[in-house]
Amino acid sequence: MGSDRLLQTVGTAAAHASLNVPVAGVDDTVGEVLARMRGPRYVEAGIVAVCTGRKPTGVVTIESLLAADDSARMSSLMDADFPVVAGQQDQERALWKALHHDESALVVVDAAGNFQGVIPPHRLLAVLLEEHDEDVARLSGYLKSAAGARTASTESVGRRLWHRLPWLMVGLLGAMVSAGLMDAFQAQLERQVLVAFFIPGIVYLADAVGTQTEAVVIRGLSVGIGVERIVTREIMTGLTIGVLIALMSYPVTLLMWHQSQVSAAVSLSLFAACSVAVIVAMALPWAMSKFGVDPAFGSGPLATVVQDLLSILVYLTVSTALVG
């Protein structure tokens, strides 16, 4: 059962290996091997795996086998310097190992070095095409396949609307909610009109920081780099950007409007909004990719709505607390 589970592991070398191949011992003669090969139908008969016990020690090509004398031993014909891959090795790495050794098939072993089968040429070719398709898709900014990229690029107007309009409706709903937030803080805005002047700037800067992070995350996902590998650096970058923007905004706003409380509220809000925007921009593409949704369609509009609402809420809350 263990080997069966190994052979079913998707995306690994073992997933493409087959045990339905000719196998011989080192002391077997050519005549004995050829006699056993007559009759059975093999998935791959281009090479014979030569084993000592359960461990592969070499391979013999069918060309060498047919050209040899019947009395010749397999040990004298086998290539002992043959490419071997572990069953759990990634299929792409296994493919390149076969290509670099100029071999048409590849022997697969388990963790103990026991023979687990051979990846035949047609499976190596299938993996090559699959990986090429995936690489093209990644370069195009899509996560699944080049076929998906082509479909999204050439789909009908109706399908385009279906993919995009729902997210924009979410954006419209967010605009209504933001208007409600502004209304909830109407008294504060009327008491200090200057507070309202900075809302577009705070929202824009938070969006800009979030968009930069989102681009980094989506690019990373598209080339197989998980969010967990960039989360620490991005959070530190977001916090640093927030601190620097806050430090720069305070003296500028104070010099121009001479309102220290408003300047403090703007600076603190910029720091908080930029920091939160980084987290939102990382979380949404990651969540969408986990649920099988292409982040290229929805993470931008959704992240913008969430970031805008949070930025407005943070700023109006801070300004209410600090500005009399």
Give the pLDDT means over successive 10-residue stretches in the chain (324 positions).
45 82 94 93 89 92 92 92 81 66 76 89 71 50 50 70 77 82 80 86 90 77 70 89 94 92 94 90 77 61 82 91 81
Q: How far apart are CA 131 and CA 138, in angstroms?
A: 10
Q: Specify the pLDDT at position 306.
A: 85
With the C-alpha atoms ordered 248, 250, 253, 256, is the resulting torsion angle positive or negative?
negative
Q: Determine the distance from the C-alpha atom of residue 90 to the mean position of all C-alpha atoms in its chain, rounded to a whole number.
A: 15
Q: Specify the pLDDT at position 101.
A: 60
Nearest Cα residue to 300 out of 177, 218, 205: 218
What are the DSSP E strand ranges found in the chain? 23-25, 47-52, 55-61, 84-86, 106-109, 115-119
Instruction: List, in order, residues 6 or more apart from 28 with CB less than 8 Å away.
Output: 73, 74
Burial class of residue 26 (count of CB atoms within 10 Å of its CB; 0-12, 13-18, 19+)? middle
Map residue 206 onto helix, strand or coil.
Answer: helix
Q: Specify the pLDDT at position 7.
A: 42
Nearest Cα residue to 300 out of 141, 137, 138: 141
Question: Residue 15 CB: number of other CB atoms within 10 A?
Answer: 19
Q: Specify the pLDDT at position 281.
A: 83
Tell me the sheet residues that pair with 59: 49, 79
Q: How far apart are CA 204 and CA 308, in angstroms?
A: 8
Burial class of residue 17 (count of CB atoms within 10 Å of its CB; 0-12, 13-18, 19+)? buried
Q: Specify the pLDDT at position 179.
A: 83
Q: Specify the pLDDT at position 75.
A: 92
Q: Specify the pLDDT at position 97.
A: 67
> Which residue has tokens 């002992």?
80
| pTM for the whole structure | 0.51
Q: Specify the pLDDT at position 43.
A: 87
Q: Specify the pLDDT at position 135.
A: 52
> Which residue has tokens 């399908």?
159
Q: How far apart are CA 174 and CA 313, in angstroms?
A: 12
Q: Determine the distance from the C-alpha atom of residue 248 to the mean position of all C-alpha atoms in its chain, rounded to a whole number.
A: 36
Q: Specify the pLDDT at position 141.
A: 46
